[in-house]
Amino acid sequence: MEKGLVIKSTGSWYTVKNGHDIIKCKIKGIFRIKDITTTNPVTVGDIVNYQVLSGNDIGIITDIQERKNYIIRKASNLSKEAHLIASNVDQAFLMFTLTSPETLLEFVDRFLVTAEAYHISTILIINKIDLYDDITLERMNSVKAIYRNAGYRCYETSVTEKINIDIIKNLMKDKISVISGNSGVGKSALINAIDKNLNLKVEEISSYHKKGKHTTTFSEMYELKGGGYIIDTPGIKGFGLIDFEENEISLFFPEIFKLSKDCQYYNCSHIHEPGCAVKKALENGLLSASRYKSYVNIMDKDAGKYRI
């Protein structure tokens, strides 16, 4: 039995690194997380046991070691199957853009809820600021303020103009990070800018739809010249949450959770109760309206209207 780290996953093939050896593996058997069905049982970052059959150079993954953490999403709230984005990371970067393409803030909030639930600290990157006009720059500053007030690190960058790339490079140093976000926001371009030896495929976004083209199709972990590892992932459209309990959701909005200590009822849902400190903060402009809206939409499971 050999042990190694999954550094690439295509869905049917897994590349496992064991010291200097790189082995192509398949999986055998069924792997499940509690009662969640996943489209990909093994993900980049997993430590696995595998066997190489004699006379063969292909390995069979037989076992996954318990994950320190993982990021998981559903394609939408309606889908049954979940997808593991990565596991065993020190931190996550969520990259988004206010134009070309426009990332919806509810997408950002859904990612953050999941990352909080699994105790993965997340750094937000607002990219492509070189394209922003004055109005968009103003919006960028208010978005940055929303997330900084909620307790997150948030940086604006331009990969093409090399703005703030060194800040991100330093944050990645000596850590295992994953980067996620919509297609076309510049995830792979950022990694190329951080380590010039890596030559990841980057492609123009469609000029017609202003959407990314899903250039990165597989998740893969790269070693950074400056120290550390980064997992580049394919762009995602929606970030459906796996089934959290309703009363858990406010725990995953750090600023709402803080405010909730002053609510009249200990089990306040912050939606319709009297004496709610969260709603009071919202009315006084102390809580961001977009964060609260995301909270309400996530709580409103019955609507089933989530399509982001």
Residue 294, binding choice from Zn ion, ligand GTP, Mg ion, none, Cβ under 5 to 8 Å by partner class: none
Q: With CA atoms as reference, report the closest residue to 85 among 98, 69, 109.
A: 69
Distance, CA of 308 to CA of 303 (rounded, Å)? 13
188 binds Mg ion (CB under 5 A): yes
182 binds Mg ion (CB under 5 A): no
Residue 278, binding choice from Zn ion, Mg ion, ligand GTP, none, Cβ under 5 to 8 Å by partner class: Zn ion
What angle, rounded to 10 degrees, do the helices at 165-172 and 187-194 form?
Answer: 80
97 binds Mg ion (CB under 5 A): no
Residue 186, binding choice from Mg ion, Zn ion, ligand GTP, none, Cβ under 5 to 8 Å by partner class: ligand GTP
- Binding residues (CB under 6 A) for ligand GTP: these are 127-128, 130-131, 158-160, 181, 183-189, 202-205, 212-216, 234-235
Which spans in 181-223 are helix H?
Answer: 187-194
| Nearer CB in complex with ligand GTP: 130/138 | 130
281 binds Zn ion (CB under 5 A): no
| Nearer CB in complex with Mg ion: 90/203 | 203
| Nearer CB in complex with ligand GTP: 25/143 | 143
| Nearer CB in complex with Zn ion: 169/270 | 270
Least CB distance to ligand GTP at residue 244 (A)? 26
| Nearer CB in complex with ligand GTP: 74/187 | 187
User: Given candidates 6, 86, 276, 282, which one binds Zn ion under the rule CB under 5 A?
Assistant: 276
The three-class DSSP label of residue 252 is helix
216 binds Mg ion (CB under 5 A): yes
Q: What stretch of H or E contains 108?
A: helix 105-117
Which spans in 121-183 are helix H?
Answer: 134-149, 165-172
CA torsion sign for 159, 164, 166, 172 is negative
**Type of residue found at 184:** G
Both tokens of 80, joined, read 């049954």
Rg (CA), the chain: 20
Distance, CA of 306 to CA of 115 (rounded, Å)? 19
Which spans of this chain sit near Mg ion (rule: CB under 5 A)?
A: 187-188, 215-216
Binding site for Zn ion (CB under 5 A): 263, 268, 270, 276, 278
